């Protein structure tokens, strides 16, 4: 830390007396840190007390103008009951700009400190497009009103005693380019599909708003979001025929062209991805190849490109399957996977271990999905959720999470493949991690997918690790002994692609990834849709490497799916809230988000 004379300031702010002392110099823990020329980190000692008598109106007026101090007091009050007999003291880290520029996003830093309560209380003061300039370290008003964020640590906070460790963690988390040299203009984006309900829509709305992007919604007439109570959530609503037929792209393009002055078209709904890409191409707006997106959405076309799953066949019915088996155009080798040619999640997917189950699986899937059916080999091995962020084919961000076994892996045809739990980052050995990254990256490029966010599912065949239980805990562990046939393979490990989704993962996964790596894939999907390449690259940067956690993650994240075992009406109106109340307080503190999928 640089040493300079200690400065002090005492004043009254409303009903509070506030005392400050600080050294007017950058903490400068790591001179090699990235973007070190953009900001400085200062540490202030603060004492905050409620005055026995409120200050006069004239005394208060001068200091009410220091908005940063007001934010500090509000944050302290949110955690501490302040009375005349219980003053508060602590240390406050202030991050201040050291050069001029424009902020890339509102709340630039808040999502980079998810789950960091042990560091302190973070107050993010950033606003999209705001111009920031160098701040005078010796001027208290300039420091607080010009600070980008403050991290407030009470005097009794001993969970991370070393101040240098706190500073190092801050540097590692704000290592991205959050400031632009050029002024950023607000943008407008057409969003196709207004979502199922408000809960599903709000994340997109919040992220777009933080990026300075207004939304124009395209959906069917009478959609819930077009009702008056929700009018403040978007700039305009355009009713169109949303039938997913061959002319939907033309209707989207016509609506966008008629409206005018839109910077892009976006959707996160799988069934509309190819239609949106075609509409964007017609209008000359940013998009990936519509043909590539359509191929990625088609599991059979994807399988033809990826290979590795023989025997593979596409059928339309049980009768069609029987015919192909009689003609020997398909020779079954069990176990097999039966699934619709398109769809999301693991809906209508089952495993067949014999001919009876195969015919039954095809019958059920045909009846449930009304789509052609893909039959392919079931590949054993750890299942993975994989996310890529690409720009012109270059990997900007890559992550793998371990997708723990589903009932369908070891159950009967009645068992499903819905998720149980995901943990990230993955514990795959480094060699297998690299194999997955290189194989799937090349597949994306081969399909013509080069810019955007892509969510894939895969397995590692002949992996050196497998799921096993020790002391009641199921986890991915090295195969070290021949136990229940689970022994190391003599064949080299290889990556088997399950499917490609040319979109971000579900919102729950986005939150988990953001907590581990600091990268918000919804942000990036939106930015790709308007062709904002500068911010796309800047916000795709993960944290600095942590030696104790692999692959640029600075926290382990776990997604736990509370599954419904059968259909029916949910007894509780707040299932997640009820479940959290059953946890011990120390376990409840570890939960950063609880979301119901309705």
Asked if residues 418 and 343 have their Cβ atoms less than 8 Å apart, the reply is no
**pLDDT of amino acid 6:** 84
Q: CA angle at residue 491 from 487 to 497, to 5 degrees? A: 100
Tokens of 487: 């022994």
Residue bearing the bigger pLDDT, 87 or 219: 219
154 and 209 belong to one structural domain: no
Give the pair of three-digit tokens for residue 296: 């990625």
For residue 239, tell me if it sits in a domain.
yes
pTM above 0.85, yes or no: yes
Interaxial angle between packed helices 318-326 and 355-369, expressed in degrees from 0 to 180 and rounded to the nearest 10: 140
What's the pLDDT at 54? Answer: 52
* DSSP codes of every residue in 62-112: HHHT-HHHHHHHHHHHHH---BTTB-EEEEEEEEEESS-EEESSTTTTGGG
- Contacts of 472-481 with CB under 8 Å at 24 or more apart are 474/404, 474/405, 475/427, 476/382, 476/402, 476/426, 476/427, 476/428
Q: Residues with Cβ < 8 Å from 226, sequence gap 6 or more?
A: 194, 217, 219, 237, 239
CATH number for the domain spanning 389: value is 3.30.470.20
Q: Which of 159, 180, 201 is the last residue of a domain?
A: 180
pLDDT score, position 8: 86
In a domain, 585, yes or no: no
Whether 148 and 97 have beta carbons less than 8 Å apart is answered as yes
95-137 tens-digit pLDDT: 999 999 999 999 999 999 998 988 999 999 999 999 999 999 8
Q: Are residues 79 and 65 in the same domain?
A: yes
% of the chain surpassing 70 pLDDT: 93
In a domain, 347, yes or no: yes
Model confidence band, residue 411 (pLDDT cutoffs 50, 70, 90): confident
Is residue 244 one of the residues assigned to a domain?
yes
- CA-nearest of 529, 542, 532, 507 to 105 is 532
The reply to whether 591 falls in a domain is no
Burial degree of 468 (CB within 10 A; 0-12, 13-18, 19+): middle
Q: Which stretches within 426-520 are classed as H helix? A: 430-447, 507-517
The length of the chain is 598
Q: 44 to each of 5, 72, 407, how far by Cα in Å?
A: 13, 12, 54
Residue 556: the pLDDT is 94
Whether residue 394 sits in one domain with residue 280: no
Asked whether residue 252 falls in the same domain as residue 335, the answer is no
Using CB atoms within 10 Å of the CB of residue 45, give its burial: 0 to 12 exposed, 13 to 18 middle, 19+ buried.
Answer: middle
Domain that holds residue 341: 310-377
Q: Is the pLDDT of residue 175 over 70?
A: yes
| Burial (Cβ within 10 Å: 0-12, 13-18, ≥19) of residue 156 | exposed
Tokens 């979001």 — which residue?
225
**In this predicted structure, which of 75-79, 179-183, 414-418 has the lowest mean pLDDT?**
414-418
Q: Which of 423, 421, 418 is nearest to 565 (CA)?
A: 418
Same domain, yes or no: 228 and 135: no
pLDDT score, position 58: 44
Q: Mean pLDDT score of the chain, rounded to an integer?
A: 90
Q: Are the C-beta atoms of 92 and 152 separated by less than 8 Å?
A: yes
Last residue within a domain, chosen from 287, 302, 334 = 287
Higher-confidence residue of 73 and 62: namely 73
Do 252 and 345 fall into the same domain? no
Contacts with 44 (C-beta within 8 Å, 6 or more apart), sequence order: 20, 21, 22, 91, 92, 94, 143
Beta bridge partners of 535: none
Taking residues 436-443, report their average pLDDT.
Answer: 98
Q: Which of 415, 429, 349, 347 lies closest to 381 in space, CA to CA?
A: 429
Q: If we measure between CA atoms, which residue out of 405, 390, 484, 481 comes closest to residue 437?
A: 390
- Element (H or E) spanning 307, and its range? none
Residue 426 has pLDDT above 70, yes or no: yes
Q: How confident is the model at residue 594, as a pLDDT?
A: 83
pLDDT of residue 562: 81
Distance CA 182, CA 185 (A): 9
DSSP-assigned beta bridge partners for residue 154: 90
Give the pLDDT band of residue 61 (cuts 50, 70, 90): very low
pLDDT for the residue numbered 490: 75
Residue where a domain stops, chosen among 158, 180, 202: 180
Question: What pLDDT score was predicted for residue 65?
Answer: 67
- Rounded percentage of the chain residues whose pLDDT exceeds 90: 68
Asked if residue 389 and residue 365 are part of one domain, the reply reads no
Structural domain includes residue 590: no
Residues 261 and 360 in one domain: no
Q: What is the pLDDT of residue 62?
A: 45
Band of residue 59 on the pLDDT scale cut at 50, 70, 90: very low
Nearest CA-CA partner of 133 in 66, 176, 186, 181: 181
User: Which DSSP symbol is given to 503?
Assistant: S
How many Å apart are CA 495 and CA 405, to the nearest integer?
Answer: 17
Same domain, 198 and 153: no
pLDDT at residue 63 tops 50: no
Bigger pLDDT: 523 vs 164: 523
- 128 and 92 within one domain: yes
Residue entry with tokens 């176990």: 335
Strands (E), 316-446: 336-340, 350-352, 373-377, 383-391, 394-403, 421-424
Does any domain span residue 360? yes
pLDDT at 45 over 60: yes
**Is-contact 181 201, C-beta < 8 A?**
no
How high is the pLDDT of residue 381?
95
Residue 159 has pLDDT above 90, yes or no: no
* Whole-angstrom distance, CA of residue 454 vs CA of residue 505: 8
In three-state secondary structure terms, 413 is coil
Write down the pLDDT at residue 163.
83
Per-residue pLDDT, 482 = 45
CA distances from 131 to 96, 104, 179, 181, 556 (A): 13, 10, 9, 10, 35
- Binned at pLDDT 50, 70 and 90, residue 82 comes out as confident
3-state secondary structure of 587: helix
How many domains does the chain contain in total? 4
Per-residue pLDDT at 465 exceeds 60: yes
Alpha-carbon torsion (188, 194, 197, 203), positive or negative: negative
Which pLDDT score, from 0 to 100, does residue 565 have? 72
pLDDT at residue 196 above 80? yes
pLDDT 10s digits, 272-324: 999 999 999 999 999 999 999 999 999 999 999 998 888 899 999 999 999 99
Q: What is the rounded distance in angstroms from the CA atom of residue 5 to the CA atom of residue 24? A: 7
Mean pLDDT value of segment 462-479: 94
Distance in angstroms (rounded) separating the CA atoms of residues 271 and 278: 13
The C-alpha atoms of residue 413 and residue 67 are separated, in whole angstroms, by: 62
| 542-593 per-position pLDDT tens digit | 999 988 999 999 999 999 888 777 778 877 888 888 888 899 988 888 888 8
Mean pLDDT calculated for residue range 349-364: 94
- One domain for residues 265 and 347: no
Q: How far, in Å, CA of 166 to CA of 161, rounded?
A: 8
Q: Answer whether residue 543 is part of any domain.
A: yes
240 has pLDDT over 90: yes
> What CA–CA distances, in Å, run from 38 to 42, 225, 262, 270?
14, 41, 32, 39
pLDDT in tens, 478-535: 997 545 555 556 789 999 999 999 999 999 999 999 999 999 999 999 999 999 999 9
- The CATH number for 367's domain is 3.30.1490.20
Looking at the fold, whether 193 and 315 belong to one and the same domain comes out as: no
User: What sign for the dihedral angle of Cα 139, 145, 147, 150?
Assistant: positive
- For residue 557, give the nearest of 424, 426, 428 by alpha carbon: 424
Residue 597, pLDDT score: 65
Buried b (16+ CB within 10 A) or exposed e, 514-541: bbbbbbbbbbbbbbbbbebeebbbbbbb
Whether residue 267 contacts residue 276, with contact meaning beta carbons closer than 8 Å, is answered with yes
Q: Which pLDDT band holds residue 86 (cuts at 50, 70, 90)?
A: confident
- Spell out the residues 6+ positions from residue 64 whose beta carbon is closer than 8 angstroms to its own: 13, 14, 70
């Amino acid at each position: 830390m640089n040493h300079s004379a200690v400065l002090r300031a005492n004043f009254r702010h409303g009903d509070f007396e506030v005392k400050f002392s600080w050294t007017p110099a950058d903490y400068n823990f790591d001179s090699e840190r990235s973007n070190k020329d953009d900001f400085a980190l200062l540490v202030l000692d603060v004492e905050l007390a409620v005055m026995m008598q409120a200050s006069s109106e004239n005394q208060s007026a001068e200091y009410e103008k220091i908005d940063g101090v007001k934010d500090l007091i509000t944050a302290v009050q949110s955690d501490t009951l302040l009375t005349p007999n219980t003053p508060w003291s602590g240390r406050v880290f202030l991050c201040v700009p050291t050069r001029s520029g424009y902020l890339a996003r509102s709340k630039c830093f808040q999502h980079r400190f998810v789950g960091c309560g042990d560091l302190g209380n973070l107050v993010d003061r950033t606003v999209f497009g705001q111009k920031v300039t160098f701040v005078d370290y010796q001027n208290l008003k300039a420091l607080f009103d010009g600070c980008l964020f403050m991290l407030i640590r009470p005097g009794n906070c001993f969970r991370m005693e070393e101040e240098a460790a706190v500073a190092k963690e801050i540097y590692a988390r704000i290592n991205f380019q959050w400031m632009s040299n050029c002024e950023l203009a607000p943008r407008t984006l057409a969003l196709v599909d207004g979502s199922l309900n408000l809960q599903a829509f709000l994340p997109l709305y919040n992220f777009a708003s933080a990026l300075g992007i207004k939304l124009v919604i395209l959906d069917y007439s009478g959609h819930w979001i077009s009702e008056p109570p929700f009018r403040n959530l978007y700039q305009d609503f355009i009713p169109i025929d949303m039938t997913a037929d061959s002319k939907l792209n033309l209707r989207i393009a016509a609506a966008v062209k008629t409206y005018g002055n839109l910077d892009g078209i976006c959707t996160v709904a799988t069934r509309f991805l190819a239609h949106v890409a075609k509409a964007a191409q017609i209008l000359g707006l940013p998009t990936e190849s519509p043909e590539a997106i359509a191929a990625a959405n088609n599991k059979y076309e994807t399988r033809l490109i990826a290979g590795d799953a023989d025997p593979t066949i596409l059928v339309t019915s049980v009768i069609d399957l029987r015919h192909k088996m009689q003609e020997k155009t398909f020779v079954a080798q069990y176990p097999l996977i039966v699934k619709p040619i398109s769809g999301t999640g693991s809906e209508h997917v089952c495993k067949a271990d014999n001919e009876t189950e195969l015919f039954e699986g095809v019958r059920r899937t045909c009846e449930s999905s009304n789509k052609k059916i893909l039959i392919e080999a079931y590949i054993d091995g750890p299942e993975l959720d994989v996310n890529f962020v690409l720009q012109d084919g270059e990997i900007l961000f890559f992550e793998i999470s371990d997708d723990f076994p589903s009932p369908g892996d070891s159950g009967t045809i009645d068992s499903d493949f819905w998720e149980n739990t995901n943990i990230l980052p993955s514990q795959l050995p480094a060699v297998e991690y690299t194999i997955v990254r290189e194989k799937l990256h090349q597949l994306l490029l081969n399909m013509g997918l080069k810019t955007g966010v892509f969510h894939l599912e895969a397995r590692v065949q002949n992996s050196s690790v497998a799921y096993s239980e020790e002391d009641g805990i199921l986890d991915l562990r090295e195969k070290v002994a021949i136990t229940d046939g689970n022994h190391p393979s003599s064949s080299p490990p290889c990556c088997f692609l399950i499917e490609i989704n040319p979109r971000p993962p579900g919102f729950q996964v986005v939150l988990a990834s953001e907590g581990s790596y600091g990268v918000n894939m919804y942000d990036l999907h939106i930015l790709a849709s308007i062709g904002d390449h500068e911010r796309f690259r800047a916000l795709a940067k993960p944290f600095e490497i942590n030696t104790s956690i692999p692959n640029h993650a600075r926290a382990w994240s776990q997604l736990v799916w509370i599954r419904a075992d059968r259909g029916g009406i949910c007894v509780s109106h707040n299932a997640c809230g009820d479940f959290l109340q059953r946890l011990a307080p120390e376990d409840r503190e570890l939960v950063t988000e609880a979301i119901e999928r309705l």
